[in-house]
């Protein structure tokens, strides 16, 4: 959800729904593909195997539903044994969600790579607004059919939603470390990751209800600006949080 830019090999270029989730934002923006990272042949083969297994699984999940596809069927479709599959993916949910693991440290990377003199919050705000502009699926603001299909699979499957929270917990921990690692930084990281999740979920909710990404964009930007103001100033100004009834 609040993630973009896969570490393990980029988009797959094969038209799958999983690949579309990663590629759609860049294609809409016309941004160049990231420079490839030089990896060993063994590591590249491992990455390709990860992708082939996941793509086979997601195609089956989209066609029949997550709960109606067994791990054995995925292994057979990928032409591997179940033990081999579990060496790559410890849990069935990871077959659909492993690409989120490549984004776990994205907020931390944004903070670590910010411009000189730029605050962490300003860097995260800039990054999220840029994602909205390019219709990055991680912001929830993408109406590409493949992305919609994947998001419906994700948000319509309780087991996947529960697993996703674990990925987001690791995002929070990585961001806290990037901010300094203390209690105050952990509190800040928790609030930031929650805000990014809620913004993305609201964008997705509106698009799933029938609005286009272009129709949602203006409201998404306003909501993001409000959210970052609230993060910056604290909760005292938020309606319903401070003061009595």
- Sketch out the chain's domains with CATH numbers: 17-94 (1.10.10.60), 106-233 (no CATH)
Residue 112 pLDDT level (bands cut at 50, 70, 90): very high
Q: What is the C-alpha separation between 56 and 73, in angstroms, rounded?
A: 10
pTM as predicted: 0.75
Once rounded to an integer, what is the mean pLDDT over residues 94-115?
87
Residue-wise pLDDT for 177-236, tens only, equals: 999 999 999 999 999 999 999 999 999 999 999 999 999 999 999 999 999 999 999 865
Instruction: Residue 197: name the closest of 3, 54, 5 by CA.
Output: 3
Q: How far is the CA of 24 from the CAs of 48, 61, 82, 162, in angstroms?
A: 20, 20, 32, 25
Once rounded to an integer, what is the mean pLDDT over residues 51-67?
92
Q: Give the Cβ contact number of residue 116 at 10 Å.
A: 4
Once rounded to an integer, what is the mean pLDDT over residues 157-182?
91
Q: Contact at 8 Å (CB) between 143 and 212?
A: yes
Residue-wise pLDDT for 212-225, tens only, equals: 999 999 999 999 99
Average pLDDT, the chain: 82
Q: What is the C-alpha separation between 210 and 57, in angstroms, rounded?
A: 27
Residue 51 pLDDT level (bands cut at 50, 70, 90): confident
């Amino acid at each position: 959800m609040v993630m973009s830019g896969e570490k393990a090999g980029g988009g797959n270029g094969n038209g799958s729904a999983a690949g579309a989730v990663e590629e759609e934002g860049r294609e809409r923006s016309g941004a160049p593909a990231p420079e490839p990272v030089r990896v060993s042949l063994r590591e590249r083969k491992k990455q390709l195997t990860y992708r082939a297994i996941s793509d086979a699984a997601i195609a089956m999940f989209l066609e029949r539903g997550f709960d109606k596809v067994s791990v054995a069927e995925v292994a057979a479709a990928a032409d591997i044994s179940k033990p081999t599959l579990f060496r790559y993916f410890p849990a069935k949910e990871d077959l659909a969600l492993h690409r989120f693991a490549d984004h776990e440290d994205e907020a931390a990377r944004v903070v670590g790579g910010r411009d000189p003199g730029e605050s962490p919050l300003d860097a995260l705000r800039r990054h999220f607004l840029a994602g909205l502009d390019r219709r990055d699926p991680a912001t929830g603001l993408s109406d590409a059919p493949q992305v919609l299909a994947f998001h419906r699979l994700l948000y319509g499957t309780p087991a996947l939603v529960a697993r996703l929270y674990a990925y987001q917990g690791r995002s929070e921990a990585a961001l806290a470390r990037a901010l300094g690692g203390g209690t105050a930084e952990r509190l800040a990281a928790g609030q930031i990751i929650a805000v990014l999740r809620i913004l993305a979920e609201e964008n997705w909710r509106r698009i799933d209800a029938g609005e286009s990404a272009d129709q949602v964009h203006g409201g998404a930007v306003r909501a993001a600006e409000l959210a970052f103001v609230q993060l910056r100033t604290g909760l005292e100004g938020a309606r319903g949080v401070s003061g009595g009834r």
